[in-house]
């Protein structure tokens, strides 16, 4: 007789082994390493919750301490590789293979370890893509997750930073895997049930909150006048003519500048209620002045942001909140919302090539992707119309009859022509291609593909790639906004002028943008303190941003 | 310090009547631009004092673009540069020719 419940039985055996180190579902923090050695097997697929923001830091430290003679060759599948321990696992020989999405602060070390052969790379995924694989061919045998609190039955409260947890638990727990949660405290009754206890097998009391990275805080004091100019271009040259109401902003100072110009510059243009009303967005502190001025109707969040929790609780008309009053975020749902229900994505990158591919890989840093690839791509499964989507579709393909013409998501790259340390934004060949050659990857890690990119905004102007009719026009439209980079200086000036006549390229002066307006006095908040004051004291900036 | 001097023909004379305009500050990554109404209305002379050596071709390209795109005729422009990027230089120059159009503050 073939047995059809071997995986469930294997999980039961792991639970029995774990019980020897636990009291009920509760594992003591000082027994955690021995506990993990009992329940994890060599070769397991392990999701160590490393999200974009919150980190299961206690579990990461404990896993990095297990004996590699007992546990080795783990296959780590996690969206964020953020903590040093995430890579210590590979240095120590506990883990061998890695599938991930984002590596932010570990980007330099992960590059060295990949080049040194310490890590066997599966792939660098977009978020939704990695989540999807959790349910198909990368279902974790063990998930090590993070929550705010738990009761003794294992019901979890994830608080405002729910992020990836429901997705990870869904795949692991219903896929015969083991779910182990670290929590800040054990309570009699959790404030709300984000994860039902029957999906959670063990809980460890970390005695303090999990680590959260304040990724989405941009200090208005650091916004330059050039960035303000690019923000004016975005508002007047793109948000206004397309009437963009549903959108996502990436992180960066250019998009922070747009947020801070809504109550000033965009208000002056009469755009309130006509643009930027519905968002898939992390709770950016720089959006506070626009929210307070009544610009925003609704925001769904991927995660929370350090210091924003009280503000979000007090603005429940705008944000999704739970029965306890605090924010409920969810990365998988918000990414899906950004992909299917937003008409525009705008973000920054480090390199753009002549075709319009963009990447954040540099020769010595592999940062992976954030939310950009999913939200910065045209949703081929979309079927509902909206004015900006239809207009973009019409510009790209004027000849197809309207009822049979797909619309287009507006996918915008915004930045200055020279970035940090005078690195040019525009390049002949992406570093991502060199990386792919060096590591023999079948795919270069492209963040946003050229055929998804509809506009590029720099201080020199806006290039509307939808209006380009052939490869030459496309390349010259990019060169035409590439400023004084080598790519920009090698433009065909006559062709660029013709593109300008057709409004494929629009300069600030073509849009009636006064350079004297590119001034910091145009920002609705000029410092973190201004943001705190705008929130009525509800926003509590983390100490590293308090410079007063 | 390196001093660079350029003279360009300018398509359009500066607007307004104001004698001088000053924009920007001397700081790292920034620059100060002084514009004075002086010389023939179809010429623009530029003097740059910069802390960064070896960027003459880039400055020349930025200035050529500026004098062909903006109302720069009849101006003598003096720049104190603290290692500003080309995008910052272009913006300051654009701000300068706009400010000299304005009535004296």
Model confidence pLDDT, tens digit, residues B70-88: 999 999 999 999 999 999 9
Q: Is residue B77 part of a domain?
A: yes
pLDDT at site B62: 96
Q: Is residue B26 part of a domain?
A: yes
Q: Is residue B104 part of a domain?
A: no
Per-position b or e across A433-458, b if 16+ CB within 10 A of its CB: bebbeeeebeebbbbbbbebbbbbbb
Give chain B's radius of gyration (CA, Å).
13
What pTM was estimated for this model as a whole? Answer: 0.96
CA–CA min distance A85, chain B (Å): 37
Residues paired with residue A346 on neighbouring β-strands, in sequence order? A249, A412
* Chain B residues inside the 8 Å CB shell of A459: 87, 90-91
**Residue of chain B minimizing CA distance to A423:** B85
pLDDT in tens, B19-64: 999 999 998 889 999 999 999 999 999 999 998 888 999 999 999 9
Which phi-psi region, left, alpha or beta, contains residue A151 (left: φ > 0; alpha: ψ -120 to 50)? beta
B80/B46 Cα distance (integer angstroms): 11
Consecutive sets of 10 residues in chain A, 548 residues long: mean pLDDT of each? 95 98 97 98 97 96 98 97 97 98 94 94 95 98 98 98 98 98 98 98 97 93 97 98 98 96 98 98 98 98 97 98 98 98 97 97 88 93 98 98 97 95 94 92 95 98 98 98 97 98 97 96 98 98 88
For chain A, what are the domain ranges?
Answer: 6-212, 214-228+244-342+518-548, 345-514
Q: Is residue B57 part of a domain?
A: yes
pLDDT at site B105: 65
Q: Is residue B105 part of a domain?
A: no
A241/A344 Cα distance (integer angstroms): 13
- SS3 letters across A273-332: CCECCEEECCCCHHHHHHHHCCCCCEEECCCCCCCCHHHHHCCCCCECECCCCCECCCHH
- Out of 1.10.357, 3.40.50, 3.40.1130, 3.40.1080, the CATH code matching A345-514 is 3.40.1080
Q: Is residue B15 part of a domain?
A: yes
A37/B64 Cα distance (integer angstroms): 68
Q: Which of A483, A509, A516 sits opposite B87 (nearest CB)?
A: A483
Q: Is residue B86 part of a domain?
A: yes
CB A145 within 8 A of CB A180: yes
Confirm whether A6-212 and A345-514 share one CATH topology: yes
Is A6-212 CATH 3.40.1080.10?
A: yes
CB A528 within 8 A of CB A546: yes
Round to the nearest angstrom and report the end-to-end CA distance of chain B. 33
Total number of domains in chain B? 1
- SS3 letters across A191-235: CCCCECHHHCCEEEECCCCCEECCCCCCCHHHCCHHHHHHHHHHH
Q: Is A190 helix (H, G, I), strand (E, B) or coil?
A: coil
CB A464 within 8 A of CB A454: yes
Are the Cβ atoms of A417 and B86 closer than 8 angstroms?
yes
B11 and A CB contact within 8 Å: no
A113/A91 Cα distance (integer angstroms): 8
pLDDT at site A456: 98
pLDDT at site B25: 92
Q: Which of A224, A418, A515 sits opposite B95 (nearest CB)?
A: A515
Q: Which of A229, A422, A516 sits opposite B98 (nearest CB)?
A: A516
B31/A542 Cα distance (integer angstroms): 33
A96/A90 Cα distance (integer angstroms): 6
**Residue of chain B minimizing CA distance to A488:** B61
């Amino acid at each position: 007789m073939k047995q059809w419940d071997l995986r469930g039985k294997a999980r039961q055996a792991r639970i029995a082994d774990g019980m020897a180190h636990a009291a009920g579902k509760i594992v003591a923090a000082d027994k955690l390493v021995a506990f993990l050695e009992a329940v994890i097997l060599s070769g397991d697929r392990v999701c160590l919750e490393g999200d974009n923001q919150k980190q299961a830091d206690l579990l990461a430290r404990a896993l990095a301490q297990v004996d590699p003679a007992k546990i080795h060759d783990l296959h780590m599948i996690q969206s964020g590789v953020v903590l040093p321990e995430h890579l210590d696992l590979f240095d120590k020989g506990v883990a061998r293979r890695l599938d991930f999405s984002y590596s932010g602060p570990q980007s330099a070390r992960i590059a060295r370890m990949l080049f040194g052969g310490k890590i066997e790379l599966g792939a660098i995924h977009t978020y939704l893509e990695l989540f999807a694989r959790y349910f198909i061919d990368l279902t974790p045998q063990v998930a090590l997750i993070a929550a705010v609190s738990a009761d003794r039955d294992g019901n979890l409260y994830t608080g405002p930073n729910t992020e990836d947890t429901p997705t990870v638990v869904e795949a692991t727990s219903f896929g015969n895997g083991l779910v182990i949660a670290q929590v800040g405290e054990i309570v009699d009754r959790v404030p709300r049930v984000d994860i039902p206890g029957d999906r959670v097998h063990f809980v460890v009391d970390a005695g303090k909150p999990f680590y959260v990275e304040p990724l989405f805080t941009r200090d208005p004091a650091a916004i330059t006048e050039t960035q303000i100019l690019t923000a004016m271009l975005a508002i007047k040259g793109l948000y206004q003519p397309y009437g963009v109401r549903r959108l996502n902003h990436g992180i960066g100072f250019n998009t922070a500048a747009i947020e801070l110009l809504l109550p000033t510059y965009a208000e002056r243009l009469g755009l309130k209620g006509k643009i930027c009303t519905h968002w898939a967005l992390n709770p950016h502190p720089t959006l506070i002045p626009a929210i307070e001025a009544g610009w925003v109707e609704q925001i769904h969040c991927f995660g929370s942001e350090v210091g924003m929790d009280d503000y979000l609780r007090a603005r429940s008309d705008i944000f999704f909140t739970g029965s306890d009053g605090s924010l409920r975020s969810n990365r998988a749902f918000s990414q899906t919302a950004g992909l299917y229900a937003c008409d525009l994505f705008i973000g920054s990158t480090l390199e753009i090539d002549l075709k319009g591919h963009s990447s954040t890989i540099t020769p010595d840093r592999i940062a992976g992707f954030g939310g950009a690839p999913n939200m910065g791509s045209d949703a081929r499964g979309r079927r509902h119309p909206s004015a900006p989507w239809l207009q973009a579709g019409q510009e790209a393909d004027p000849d197809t009859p309207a009822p049979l013409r797909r619309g287009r998501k507006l996918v915008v790259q915004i930045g200055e022509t020279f970035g940090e340390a005078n690195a040019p934004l525009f390049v002949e060949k992406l570093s991502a291609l060199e990386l792919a050659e060096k590591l023999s990857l079948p795919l270069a890690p492209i963040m946003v593909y050229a055929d998804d990119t509809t506009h590029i905004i720099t201080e020199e102007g806006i290039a509307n790639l939808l209006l380009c009719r052939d490869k030459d026009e496309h390349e010259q439209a990019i060169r035409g906004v590439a400023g004084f980079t080598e790519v920009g200086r090698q433009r065909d000036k006559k062709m660029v002028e013709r593109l300008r006549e057709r409004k494929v390229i629009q300069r600030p002066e073509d849009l009636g943008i006064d350079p004297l307006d590119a001034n910091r006095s145009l920002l609705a908040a000029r410092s973190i303190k201004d943001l705190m004051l705008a929130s009525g004291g509800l926003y509590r900036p983390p100490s590293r941003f308090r410079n007063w | 310090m390196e001093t660079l001097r350029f003279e360009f023909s300018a398509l359009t004379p500066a607007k307004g009547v104001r004698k001088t305009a000053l924009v920007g500050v001397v700081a790292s990554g920034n620059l100060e631009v002084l514009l004075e109404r002086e010389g023939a209305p179809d010429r623009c002379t530029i003097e740059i004092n910069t802390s960064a050596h070896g960027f003459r071709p880039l400055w020349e390209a930025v200035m050529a673009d500026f004098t062909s795109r903006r109302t720069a005729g009849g101006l003598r422009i003096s720049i104190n540069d603290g290692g500003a990027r080309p995008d910052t230089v272009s913006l300051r120059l654009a701000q300068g020719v706009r400010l000299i159009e304005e009535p004296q503050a």
